[in-house]
Structure 1
């Protein structure tokens, strides 16, 4: 194998096509991340650096295979390797440790789960048909598959909660919530974003809206600052949504086709209190040609679901069809932006 195209001193990096080959091999990195997440390798390094044999003894893994995987991930800033062959966690690697409060382990397992991984390998189907390949791979559409496979559904909900654990706070900090009113987190899952919003505006109350089996796993109880300020409401956003001053759809619209989004947004328009706002928290695709995670996520949506990541103007069009008007887009320190709409 040649050196990576970006390595200093590599003559190969100047040869046309070498960088392309480097990109093609990029799928090995998420495979390695999935392996160490599945085997909880980071947990065994939380106490300090270990050599591969020491780590293998602690984790019950093969020392040679473990060394080779860690050696690769050390080049990506997940681990470090010192001259004595000891591996240690970086700040990024520490996020692979288990537990709540910033762990991304479940998010790594979700994003590398066969539900995303296998369809991504079949993007040629999408190019030829313009349709998701998920039903061909799994025999039914994405969310129907989850309804039939509780284990996969658990991977998805745990993964989404893990992603939320690191992004909810910074997103809530970036948005100027009103002092009073009711926030409705539509399809809000475990309630992470609603909790973050309520913490930042003590005068707000909240409604966590989702299907009953999802609400059963919410994490709003037990926090003193939130006591008496929230309730749950079972429902399906394709049929109706609760009334509120701020109606939030976080990582929801990107799952669905335009007509389905307009249907959900129309329910939001009817449920919006006078002077209220609809907040779409999604990755907004930039048109400047630079790398942005929204473009990567867009291909996952193409392969596994029926939706897409959208540009500012595409959001404007959706809003107009639902009786809403794009008011502003608030960037956050995460890949997501807050796309704010008001009544037209």
Structure 2
């Protein structure tokens, strides 16, 4: 065999090994979900423990739990020492339910069957150009939630947990006018609005969502007394009057026509000189890793929406009577896409 032939063969073997590794990648989030469901991180707060001790504390099988933790340790969430005990690392600390910024609920949401099963049917999305969710669950994503209270709770708790690490950096990235009224459209439990209000004394806020979501809001704190109100409604129908409209992780759930409706409702309701702030991943036009590219496929599999590029946001804004003014990075995977009213609707 010539040197060139050997190099070609070796490159082929490296390619094969890499692709097999990639194909096995889905096992890791499955293991992560198992560890989170068992609450392993909470039982390591006071120090390392053996799989046997952890199994007794969590009501799991020691040998199986050890195998799960061994895999998770390869990416630094846990660490196995020379005595066979597992430690919770600094990287894995946010798995604790009592962590200052806990992602436990977010992991349970992302790996829930409502996302997991459609992702496994992505071939169907590619072949048919539609979400796999309807064919698996018999109805669209949000219709399914209406009849499944447990799933709805997992989703809203997960979204709140996912947002907790993002809200303060996003609020810090934008200078809100002190006398403005900010409307958090589909704002869930109000974490972002809370951060914005705390950053800017004098700012007023409206948390706008459906009644069952607003029931879990976090705005009722002494330092924010008198500076916020709740508004029940449907963002496909209308929006409350205000100056600045926050749409965090909203438009990526919906197709372009539905997103235009939401934006138009904000455009019609906002005061002169107002702004719409779409807070979503903005997909870069390169081959670099970006969490938004992964989230985009999650949207494709389970919903009807997508993550968008700056050019796609600009087109969406124009069609909704808005003009994109700037894109502001936040230090998170999300950016603030700011728009103002165009001269003509």
The TM-score with structure 1 as length reference comes to: 0.94
Matched with 1:245 is: 243
Matched with 1:319 is: 317
Matched with 1:328 is: 326
Q: CA deviation at 1:170?
A: 1.4
Distance 1:323 1:268 in 2: 10
Distance 1:16 1:95 in 2: 34
* Correspondent of 2:339 among 334, 338, 341: 341
Matched with 2:120 is: 121
Q: CA deviation at 1:202?
A: 1.1
- Kept in 2, the 8 Å contact 1:190–1:217? The answer is yes
Matched with 1:304 is: 302
Matched with 1:21 is: 20
2:233 matched to 1:235? yes
Deviations 1:137-188 (A, max 9, x none): 0000000000011111111011001111111111111222222211100000
Q: How many residues align structurally?
A: 333
- Secondary structure of 1:317's match? helix
Deviations 1:278-310 (A, max 9, x none): 000101111111110100000011010000000
Q: CA deviation at 1:49?
A: 1.1
- Kept in 2, the 8 Å contact 1:268–1:278? The answer is yes
Deviations 1:9-64 (A, max 9, x none): xx999622211110110111100110011110100001111121222222222211
Distance 2:140 2:80 in 1: 43
Matched with 1:280 is: 278
Where in structure 2 are the equivalents of 1:102-181 lying within 5 Å?
A: 102-181=101-180
- Kept in 2, the 8 Å contact 1:243–1:273? The answer is yes
- Secondary structure of 2:292's match? helix
- Kept in 1, the 8 Å contact 2:181–2:204? The answer is yes
Distance 1:261 1:59 in 2: 44
- RMSD over aligned Cα atoms: 1.4
Q: CA deviation at 1:246?
A: 0.8
Deviations 1:104-137 (A, max 9, x none): 0010000000000000000111111111110100
Deviations 1:219-240 (A, max 9, x none): 111x222111000000000000
Matched with 2:287 is: 289
Matched with 1:7 is: none
Q: Please, which moves more after superposition, 15-24 or 143-152? A: 15-24
- Kept in 1, the 8 Å contact 2:93–2:99? The answer is no
Instruction: Sort the Cα spacing of 1:42 and 1:100 in 2 relative to 1 into closer, same or farther, 3 A.
Output: closer
Distance 1:323 1:16 in 2: 49
- Kept in 2, the 8 Å contact 1:180–1:201? The answer is no
- Kept in 2, the 8 Å contact 1:293–1:335? The answer is yes
Matched with 1:79 is: 78
- Secondary structure of 1:92's match? coil
Q: Which runs of 5+ in 2 are unaligned?
A: 1-9
Deviations 1:263-289 (A, max 9, x none): 111111111111111000101111111
